[in-house]
Structure 1
C-alpha cells in the first residue's frame, strides 16, 4: 500500500491521542517506520498490525475524544484522549477508525473534490468509484485498488459487492464509506456485512495467468455489504428518466452504430462476439465479421480494467457505469492464445492478463497491442452489450507503433486532437522531463554531499569536544551554559622527555614525528579507560577522568591509564630514546567551553595546578600521585610507595607517593604461563 494511507493513521493518532501514544503503537506493532512517505510502498499487513497494537494501548475510538475524561480506559489502560466506550477496543474498531481517518486526511489535501464531482447522490458516487481509481493510477501507478458494484438498489439503500486482493480491510472500507457519506453527502449510513468469502484462484486460471497470480496473490476477498440510508431522491430521479417521453424513430441497422464506433464490439449473453467495427476487423486481419462471429470475447481480448473480476454477463450488467479497458490480441497472437488456453477458456469465462497486475497504459507502448477504452452499454431491445470505445493513443509515435493512422480514429471524439496535441507538446514535455530528472539527480547528489560533510563535521567536532558538550553547542546553547562544577575528579599530566631541541629541518621533523607517534598511542588508550584527553601543550599531555561524564572510578581510571602509558613507552620502537614522567591529583574543578573561536573544553581550579606540580616534581619513568589520589585508590591493586614530604611550588611541603603495578603472585604467574 502507498504511504498516504499510513500517513493518515499517524496524523490522527498523534492529533487525537498524542505523540507518545503513537510511539507506543509503533513500538508494539514492531514497525520499523515512525514516519511514512506518501509515494513509498509499504507492506499490506502493516495496517492491521497497527490496528491490533492500537487496540491494546489506546481507548476505543468509537466515542468522540473530548468525552473521554483522562483517557484511562480500554483494554490496555487507554493512552491518550480517545473515548471510553462500554466495550473494550478491538482491532476491527480501529480499522474502521483508520478508514475514517483516511477520508478526513485526503479531504484536507483537496481529494474530496473529485468525489463531490462524481454525482449528486451517494449511489452515483458508488457507481463511479472504479472510475476514480482509474484516474488516480496516474499519480499512484502501483495502487492495488479494489473493485465494487451495486447488485441491488432500493429507496432504503443498496447492496454493494466489494472485491479486493487484500485481506483484513473489510472494516477499513466500512469506515471510508461511513465518513464519505457523512462528510460529503450529509447522509447517515448504516453498514452491515451480508457475506464474506475468499475466492482461491483455480488451477486453470493459474496456468493462464501465472504472472497475475504471483503479483496479485492467490486469493481475492469478496464482501457483500448492505448499506441502509435514505435513497429516495436517487430513485425518484431514476424513475423520472425511465418515464421520459422520447421521439420514436424507425429501427436502423447495427452497421450504422459500428460506423460511428469503428472499434466497437457487440457481445451477446454467452460473452461471444456478434459483430465488430471495421477498423477492429482490419486490426485482426479479417475481412468480414463472419470470421470472428461466435468466438469468445476472451479469445481476442484481454481484460485490463476493471481488475480481478470474471468477464461474465452478470458483471457487465452491474458495471455499466465503469470504464473498461480491453487489450486487443492481434492475428497470430490471438490464435496462439486460443490454442494454448484450449478447453479452459470454454469452461471458465474469465479473462486474465498474462502480464503483471500492475500494468498501466504504458504496457502497450512500443508494442503492436492496442488498448481500447470505453463503456459497456446494454441495449434492452435486442439484449446485447455494445462496447463503445476508442483506442488509447497519446502521440504519433504510439499511433505508428500500433499500425494505425489518423483516419482510423473517430471523427466525433477527441482522439485525433489528443494525438496532434501530444505530438506538438511531446518534445517540450520530454525536455522538461529531462530537466526535472537532472534537477532531481543534482538534488540527490547535493543531499548526499551534505550528509557526507555533516558526518565529517560531526567527527571533527566530537574529536575536539566531548560529545555531550558538542551536542549542547549544536542545539544553540551558549558556551557558558556548558560550564559545570565537579566536586571530585582526577587530573593527569604526562610529560615526554628526551626530545632535544633540533637545529635542522630534518631534526625537527623527526621530533614532530616521534611526538605524533607517542600522542597517537596515548589517544588510542583513553577511551579504554574512560578518560578524556583535555589538551597537549608542547611535550605535555593532559587528561581527566570524572568530567564531563562523572564516574566514581576516576582515580583508578587515570592511574590505570598512566601505568599503560608507561608500559607502551617501554615497548615503543623509535629512533629517539624517550621517557615520560606523570603526575596525578584529585580534587574539585570547573569545566566547560570558554570563548567563541577555536572552542576548547578547559579545566579550571587549584586541582589542575596541583596535578601539574605533581608532574614537574616527578621523575622519569615514575608516576607521582598526591595523598588525595592515594586515598581514592584500592590498596590491593597497586604498589604505593611513600616518597615522603616534597616541596611543591606554591604549596609548600606535601606528602606524595609513587604508584606502580602490584607484582603478580607465583600462583598467578603459574596460571598465566599455563
Structure 2
C-alpha cells in the first residue's frame, strides 16, 4: 500500500490520542518505520498490526480500530484535493458507489502500483442498496466500511448503516486469495430513485422507432455485441478489418480473442459486465489468436488442395505477408489493440454491447497496431487527442523520465534513510537504554530520566593476568579485551542484564534498572558464573592467558542520563562503590558477593561459601561470601 494511507493513520492518532499513544503504537506493533512517504509503497500488514496495537492500547475491538483508520483516510486525503473529485463524482451517494472503480482507475496515473478493490451495486431502492466488495487484500473489510461511513456523512450528509449479507473467498486465476463481501447499505436514497423514475418517464414519452443493430455497429466501429453466454453476435466494421474476417469472430466466445485488462481482480462474466455497466472496461484484442486461427484455416485449405503452405500468403491491410512472419509479434501492424469503453445492456435483445474506442498513446503506435486516423470514432475526440498527444509527446516523455528518475532516487534515499536510522538506533541503544532513549526522543528533558531504584544488583568484573609495557603489549591488550568484552556483551543480553560501561579493564553491569526485575540478584550471579566459565574456554587471538575477578553488591541506586556530546546512562550511590570494592577485594576466577546479595539468592540454586570478615576500603570490616553454581566441586577449590 502507498504511504498516504499510513500517513493518515499517524496524523489522526497523534491528533486524537496524542504523541505518547503513537509511540506506544510503534513499539507494540514493532513497526520499523517512524515516518511514511506519500508515494512510497509499504507492506500491507503494517495497517493491520497498527490496528491491533491500537485496539490493545485503547481497549477497543480490532474492527473499531480498522474503521477508525478508514475514516482517517477520508479526512486526510482532503489535504491533497481529492475531496473535490469525490464531490464531483455524482449528485447522489449511489452515483459515487457506482463510480468507485472509475475513480481508482484515474488514481492509477499518480499511483501506478495501487491495488484497489472493486465494488458494484446489484440492487437499489429508496432505503439504500446492495454493494458487492471484492479485494485481494485480506482484513480490510472494516477499513472500507469506515471510509463509506465518513464519505456518506461528510460529503453527502447521510446517515449510513451497513450489514454483511454474505462473505465468500475464492482463488483468482493468478493464485491470489479473493475476498467477496456482499453488504446491505441503508441510507436515504429517495431523491436518487425519484430522479431515476423521472428519467424513465421521459424515455417512455420519447417513443422512437426501432433501428438496426448494424447502424449501432457502424456508429461505434470497434464495438462488440454479446449474448448472455458471452458469445460474440456482432462486431464493428473496423474491428472486422482488424480481424480480417467477420465470420472468424461471430459465434466465438469473447475470451478466445479478447483479454480483460481492467477492472482488475474480476472475471469476465455476464454478471460482472451487467453490474459494472458504469465502469470503464479495457479489453485487449489478441491478435496472436486471430493469426493462429488464420493459419489453421490455411493449413486446412492446403490439406484440401494439397498445396505447399510455405508458398501461401495472407493479405493484411493490402500487403501480402507470409504465414511465418505472422507468427512474429513484432511484425508491424500486428500488435494487440487495447479497447476502452463502457458495457451497455440492451433489453430489447437481452444483450450487452461494448461501446469502445482504441487506446492510442502516441501517433507512432497507429502503424504498429495496423490502424489509421480515419479508423477512429468520427463522433469522438480520438483523432484530436492523438494529434495533440503527438505534438506534446516529446515534452511529456522528458517529464516522465525525469519524474521516474526522481522517484527511483527518492526510493533509494528512503531505503538508505531507513538503514542509517536503524544503525543510529543501534548506536543510541548501545549508549542509553531503549526506554530512556525513546523518552528523550519524545522531547522530554534529560533530567526527567533521573530516577531512584529501591534495590538493584551491581556487578564489576576486572580482567587480570597481563600488563602492557610496550606498544605491542598495548595492541595485544586491546585485542584481548575486545574478544573478552564481546563475549560478555552477548551474555548480558541472555540474562537480561544491562551493561553500563567499560573503563579500562573494568566491566560494569546492572540488573533491576532501568527495567525493574525481581530476579536481579539471580540474573547477575548467573551472568557472573557464565563469565568465569567462558573466560576459560574463550580462544584469545594473542594466546594470552587471562582471568577475571568479579564482585557484586545489592542496594538502592540513582540513575540518569549524563553528558551532551557522549551521553551515558550512569548509576550513582553507595551501592556502586561497595560493588566496586567487592571486585577489587576478589580473587581470580571467583565471584565475590556481599551479604545483601547473598540474602536475595535462592539457596537451592547456588552454593554459597562464607569467606569470613574482610576489611573493605572505606567500609570497614564486612561479612562477604563466594558464590558458586550447584555443580561446584569443593575439592577442586579446597585452597580457597
Smaller-chain TM-score bracket: 0.5 to 0.7
Aligned residue in 2 for 1:598: 566
How many equivalent pairs are there?
579
1:145 paired with 2:110, answer no
Q: 1:452 aligns with which of 416, 419, 433?
A: 419
1:465 paired with 2:424, answer no
**CA-CA distance at 1:214 after TM superposition:** 6.7
- What's the secondary structure of 2:421's corresponding residue? helix
CA contact (8 A) 1:299 1:338 kept: no
- What's the secondary structure of 2:424's corresponding residue? helix
**CA-CA distance at 1:403 after TM superposition:** 0.7
CA contact (8 A) 2:162 2:184 kept: no
**CA-CA distance at 1:552 after TM superposition:** 4.9
> What is the rounded CA distance, in whole Å, between the counterparts of 2:86 and 2:243 in structure 1?
39
CA contact (8 A) 1:482 1:592 kept: yes
**CA-CA distance at 1:187 after TM superposition:** 8.8
**Would the alpha carbon gap of residues 527 and 428 (structure 1) be closer, same or farther in structure 2, given more than 3 Å must change?**
same
Aligned residue in 1 for 2:290: 333
Could you give the per-residue CA deviations for residues 437-474 of structure 1, whole angstroms, max 9, x where no partner exists?
32222222222222222222222233333344333334
Could you give the per-residue CA deviations for residues 597-626 of structure 1, whole angstroms, max 9, x where no partner exists?
322333323333344444445555665555
1:654 paired with 2:621, answer yes
**Would the alpha carbon gap of residues 435 and 513 (structure 1) be closer, same or farther in structure 2, given more than 3 Å must change?**
same
**CA-CA distance at 1:401 after TM superposition:** 1.9
Higher deviation after alignment, 222-231 or 554-563:
222-231
CA contact (8 A) 2:461 2:548 kept: yes
Could you give the per-residue CA deviations for residues 511-530 of structure 1, whole angstroms, max 9, x where no partner exists?
33344444444444444555
1:537 paired with 2:537, answer no
Q: 1:285 aligns with which of 226, 240, 244?
A: 244
Aligned residue in 1 for 2:370: 403
CA contact (8 A) 2:167 2:179 kept: no
Tell me the C-alpha RMSD between the 2 structures.
Answer: 6.7
Aligned residue in 1 for 2:446: 479
1:424 paired with 2:391, answer yes
Aligned residue in 1 for 2:323: none
Aligned residue in 2 for 1:439: 406
- What's the secondary structure of 1:596's corresponding residue? coil
CA contact (8 A) 2:591 2:627 kept: yes
> What is the rounded CA distance, in whole Å, between the counterparts of 1:226 and 1:607 in structure 2?
70
**Would the alpha carbon gap of residues 10 and 145 (structure 1) be closer, same or farther in structure 2, given more than 3 Å must change?**
farther
**Would the alpha carbon gap of residues 301 and 128 (structure 1) be closer, same or farther in structure 2, given more than 3 Å must change?**
farther
- What's the secondary structure of 2:501's corresponding residue? strand
> What is the rounded CA distance, in whole Å, between the counterparts of 2:627 and 2:533 in structure 1?
11
> What is the rounded CA distance, in whole Å, between the counterparts of 1:228 and 1:270 in structure 2?
33
> What is the rounded CA distance, in whole Å, between the counterparts of 2:141 and 2:468 in structure 1?
85
- What's the secondary structure of 1:396's corresponding residue? coil
**Would the alpha carbon gap of residues 271 and 99 (structure 1) be closer, same or farther in structure 2, given more than 3 Å must change?**
farther
Could you give the per-residue CA deviations for residues 158-206 of structure 1, whole angstroms, max 9, x where no partner exists?
998977767999999999999988887789999999xx999999xxxxx
CA contact (8 A) 2:122 2:132 kept: no
**Would the alpha carbon gap of residues 613 and 436 (structure 1) be closer, same or farther in structure 2, given more than 3 Å must change?**
same
Give the alignment of 1:139-538 within 5 angstroms.
143=116, 145-147=118-120, 229=190, 231-236=193-198, 238-240=200-202, 243=205, 262-263=221-222, 278-286=237-245, 298=254, 302=258, 304=260, 328=285, 333=290, 336=293, 368-373=335-340, 389-502=356-469, 504-538=470-504
Q: TM-score, normalised by structure 2?
A: 0.62
CA contact (8 A) 2:97 2:119 kept: no
> What is the rounded CA distance, in whole Å, between the counterparts of 1:665 and 1:41 in structure 2?
53
> What is the rounded CA distance, in whole Å, between the counterparts of 1:589 and 1:299 in structure 2?
77
**Would the alpha carbon gap of residues 368 and 148 (structure 1) be closer, same or farther in structure 2, given more than 3 Å must change?**
farther
Q: Unmatched 5+ residue regions in structure 2?
A: 23-32, 298-331
1:609 paired with 2:577, answer yes
Aligned residue in 1 for 2:609: 640
> What is the rounded CA distance, in whole Å, between the counterparts of 1:544 and 1:523 in structure 2?
12
**CA-CA distance at 1:654 after TM superposition:** 0.8
**Would the alpha carbon gap of residues 426 and 581 (structure 1) be closer, same or farther in structure 2, given more than 3 Å must change?**
same
**CA-CA distance at 1:383 after TM superposition:** 12
**Would the alpha carbon gap of residues 533 and 435 (structure 1) be closer, same or farther in structure 2, given more than 3 Å must change?**
same
Could you give the per-residue CA deviations for residues 264-286 of structure 1, whole angstroms, max 9, x where no partner exists?
67899999989866544432335
**CA-CA distance at 1:656 after TM superposition:** 3.7
> What is the rounded CA distance, in whole Å, between the counterparts of 1:16 and 1:9 in structure 2?
11
